Chains A and B, each alone.
Chain A
C-alpha cells in the first residue's frame, strides 16, 4: 500500500512515540540501544534528557507522569542499563504510575548465549511491571507500542517495558500505526454497576458516622471535583491516604488529613468509630490499616476501585464497586441524598472536630534547635500551598504530608507503596519538566538525597529550576526513630555523614542556602522561589526528632503513641518487664 512506509525499527519506535503524544524522555545510551539513539536527530520534537543513572531516568519519567497525568518514558540500554531501571519500575508499579520503559537488548542471534551486557530483562521485570514485551519481529513494533501505551494508561495504570534487540531496531519493515488495540484479556470496567451504586448510596444515606477515605485513585482519575461534590453534598469528612494527599483541598473544613501509622490521631480514632467508610481508589495498605482485624471494627465498607483484585484483598468490602473513580463518583453523586445539614451529620462532624481539638497532632512544640515540622509548615505558608511537593521516603516525607496544606490537585508526589529512598531528586526533576508553570519543591532527607545525588548533574545540564529543601538531621532519621523506640536507642548504621551541601551546590553551579534557625526559614524559602534556577536549601534540624503520632507496625489504634513522653514511658515499662 502506498501509505505504508518502510522504516527501521528504531524509526518505528520514534514514530510511535510521536503518535502517542510523547514530548520528552529520560534516558541513558549504550551499545544495544544505539540504533534508537542515532535515529533521534531525525525527530527533533522528541526531547531527550540525559540522566546520570537509569534509576534516575525511571523516577524522572514517573515524576513526570504523576505531575502531568501523561505517560512518562524512560530509555536504557541492555543488561545493567535495564536492571538499573527496576527500582523505578517497582516504584511505579506499586503506586500505579503510567510509564513506558524502552530498553535495548542484544541481537536476536545472541539472546540466550550470555552475550556481553545481556540480561533476560522481560524475566527480571515481570514482577515489577504491569506488562512487558520482548520484540522479536520489527513489523510488530507499531502494534506493541500502541498496546504498551494503552495498557500503561488504561484501567489501573502502571509501567510497561518494551525490550528491543539491537538488530530489530536496525532492520526495516513497513510501518502502519494501528488505530486501536485487540487485547481480549484486558478490558477494564470503567462504570460502576448501577445496582451496586444504589446500594452504596443507600448505605451512605443511612450512615450516622460516615467517613470517606480517598486514595491515589482520586488523583490518577482526576476526580477532584467529583470527590468535593460528594463530600459537600453529604457532609462527610474526608481522610486522604498518603498518596491521596492533594486529592482533596487541604484547607477545606471537611479535610481530615492522613490516617495510619503516622496518621493524625483523630483520623485513626474516627475510623475506629465510623459506621460507614467510603474507600475511594485506595487499597488498604498495611501502613493505613495497622492490624487488619482491629481496623474500622464498626464500619460497613463501600470500596470503589478500578482493580477488582484490590477489592477484598486486605479488608472485606460490604459494597464493592469496580470502576473508574471519576465515573463512579459521578454516578454516586446522582444517587446520594444531600444530607450536609442533617442533624446526624452535624453531630458527627462536631464529634470529629472535638477529637481534633483533643489530639493536637499538628502542634509544633518549642525547641532549642530548628524543628523539621516548622520547616514544612513554613514552606506551606510561603508557597501558599500551591507548589508541587516531591518527597523521598522517611521522616521528611511524613512531616511534609502532615504539615503542608495542599490546595491544588495532584501536587503531592511521593513514593508510597514501595517506599523508595532516592525518589525525591529525579522525580522532582521529572515533575518540573512536565510542569514548568509550577514551582517544584523536592523535600528531601539527608539520606535519600545522597542516594540519587548525581542527578543534580542532569538538573544543572538541563537548567531545571527545582528547589531542594533538605531536612538534614545527620541521621537516617526514620530508621533512627525505630532504633529509638524498638531497640533502646542503639543507633547502629544510622548516624550519617553528609557532604558540604553548599559546596555541592556550588560544584553544580546552583544556588545554595543554609538555614540553622527559625528566623532564617522564611527568607530562605522566599529567596529560593525568586531565583530562576535550581536551589539547594539545607535546613540543619534537630537530630533526634521523631514523627508522631505513631502506631507501631502490626498494632492497632489503641496502641498509638501520640507524643514522645508516652513513647518514653512505653519504653521504660518494656525495659522494666524484660
Chain B
C-alpha cells in the first residue's frame, strides 16, 4: 500500500544468527542505506542459535527490492522474505496505561471487553490494558482511551508470518534470488 508521501510499507521477515551485535549490524545497514524502519521486532525462532526478526520498512518507490537484497548481503542474515503481498498473519501487542477514576472505570472495562483485550493491572487511579491485534485495532483502542487520559503506551511493533503451508523462507519471487536461496543449484525452468 502506498501512503500520502509516496512511500510503501513493506513487511519483511528474516532469520538471523543469534549473536551479540547482529541487531546493531542490521540497524546500522538500514540507517546507512537510508531505509526508514517503522518497526523492528526480534525474538527466538524454532531453531537454536537463530532469531527471527520482523521489519516494517517505509520504502521509497523502487527501493523495495534493495532492502531485502542488502539484508541478504549481511553474513549474519540467513534468510530473508518480503511477505508484504502474501497472505499473512500480522500482530502487534501493546500495553496501555490509562487514567481511571471510580466513575470512568466501568466504561473503560466495557471498551476493553469489546476489543477482547485484558486488564492486567489495576491501581486506584489507573488501569493497564493488554491488547493484541493488528495495528488498526490497537490504534482504535488507543483513540478510544485518549479522552480518559493516557499515561503510558508501550507497543511491540509488528510480528508477522505467512499463512498456511507457505513458508516465508521459500517465497522469493525473483527468479535470480530464488536461485540464490537454493545454494546456486538451478531449480528448473519455469
List residues of A whose CB falls within 8 A of some B CB: 122-123, 126-127, 130-131, 134, 151, 183-191, 193-196, 307-309, 311-313, 320-322
Please name 6 further chain A to chain B contacts, defined as beta carbons within 8 Å, in addition to the given A183-B75, A189-B184, A311-B176, sorted by A numbering: A185-B74, A187-B180, A189-B180, A193-B176, A308-B72, A321-B176
For B180, the chain A residues whose CB sits under 8 A away are 187, 189, 308, 322
- In the bound assembly, the distance between CA atoms of A186 and B28 in angstroms comes to 19
For A309, the chain B residues whose CB sits under 8 A away are 66, 69-70, 72-73
CB-based nearest B residue for A308? B69
For B79, the chain A residues whose CB sits under 8 A away are 185
A124 CB, min distance to chain B CBs, angstroms: 11
List 24 contacting pairs A-B, 8 Å CB cutoff, sorted by A.
A122-B21, A126-B24, A126-B25, A127-B29, A131-B75, A185-B75, A185-B77, A185-B79, A186-B75, A187-B180, A187-B183, A188-B184, A189-B180, A189-B184, A190-B184, A191-B184, A193-B179, A194-B186, A308-B180, A309-B70, A309-B73, A312-B65, A322-B179, A322-B180
List which B63-83 residues lie within 8 A (CB) of chain A: 65-66, 69-70, 72-79
What 7 A-B pairs come out closest when comparing CB atoms?
Answer: A309-B69, A185-B78, A189-B184, A131-B75, A184-B78, A322-B176, A189-B180
One of B17, B66, B72 near A312 (C-beta < 8 A): B66
B69 CB, min distance to chain A CBs, angstroms: 4
Contact between A123 and B17, CB atoms less than 8 A apart: no
For B166, the chain A residues whose CB sits under 8 A away are none
Contact A313 B66, CB 8 Å, known A190-B184, A193-B176: yes
Contact between A196 and B175, CB atoms less than 8 A apart: yes
For B46, the chain A residues whose CB sits under 8 A away are none
B103 CB, min distance to chain A CBs, angstroms: 51
B81 CB, min distance to chain A CBs, angstroms: 14
For B73, the chain A residues whose CB sits under 8 A away are 307, 309
- In the bound assembly, the distance between CA atoms of A80 and B86 in angstroms comes to 49
B59 CB, min distance to chain A CBs, angstroms: 13
A330 CB, min distance to chain B CBs, angstroms: 15
- Tell whether B152 is near chain A: CB-to-CB under 8 Å: no
- In the bound assembly, the distance between CA atoms of A305 and B177 in angstroms comes to 13
Choose among B16, B77, B179 the residue with the greatest number of A CB atoms under 10 Å from its CB. B179
One of B17, B32, B176, B189 near A320 (C-beta < 8 A): B176
- Count of B interface residues, CB-CB < 8 Å: 30
- In the bound assembly, the distance between CA atoms of A183 and B73 in angstroms comes to 12
- In the bound assembly, the distance between CA atoms of A320 and B175 in angstroms comes to 10
List residues of B whose CB falls within 8 A of some A CB: 16-17, 21, 24-25, 28-29, 32, 65-66, 69-70, 72-79, 175-177, 179-180, 183-184, 186, 189-190
Choose among A130, A186, A307 the residue with the greatest number of B CB atoms under 10 Å from its CB. A186
For A184, the chain B residues whose CB sits under 8 A away are 78
A472 CB, min distance to chain B CBs, angstroms: 37
- In the bound assembly, the distance between CA atoms of A195 and B70 in angstroms comes to 24
B74 CB, min distance to chain A CBs, angstroms: 7
For A189, the chain B residues whose CB sits under 8 A away are 179-180, 184
A184 CB, min distance to chain B CBs, angstroms: 5
CB-based nearest B residue for A123? B24
For B69, the chain A residues whose CB sits under 8 A away are 308-309, 313
- In the bound assembly, the distance between CA atoms of A185 and B75 in angstroms comes to 5
For A190, the chain B residues whose CB sits under 8 A away are 184
For B28, the chain A residues whose CB sits under 8 A away are 126-127
B19 CB, min distance to chain A CBs, angstroms: 10
A483 CB, min distance to chain B CBs, angstroms: 30
Contact between A134 and B179, CB atoms less than 8 A apart: no
CB-based nearest B residue for A156? B73
Contact between A196 and B184, CB atoms less than 8 A apart: no
CB-based nearest B residue for A314? B66
- In the bound assembly, the distance between CA atoms of A558 and B21 in angstroms comes to 48
For B21, the chain A residues whose CB sits under 8 A away are 122, 134
A289 CB, min distance to chain B CBs, angstroms: 15
- In the bound assembly, the distance between CA atoms of A187 and B162 in angstroms comes to 25
- In the bound assembly, the distance between CA atoms of A461 and B113 in angstroms comes to 81
Contact between A196 and B176, CB atoms less than 8 A apart: yes
A477 CB, min distance to chain B CBs, angstroms: 31
Contact between B75 and A151, CB atoms less than 8 A apart: yes
- In the bound assembly, the distance between CA atoms of A9 and B76 in angstroms comes to 24
- In the bound assembly, the distance between CA atoms of A150 and B143 in angstroms comes to 54
- In the bound assembly, the distance between CA atoms of A311 and B65 in angstroms comes to 10
Contact between A193 and B186, CB atoms less than 8 A apart: yes
- In the bound assembly, the distance between CA atoms of A177 and B183 in angstroms comes to 25
- In the bound assembly, the distance between CA atoms of A130 and B25 in angstroms comes to 11
CB-based nearest B residue for A133? B21
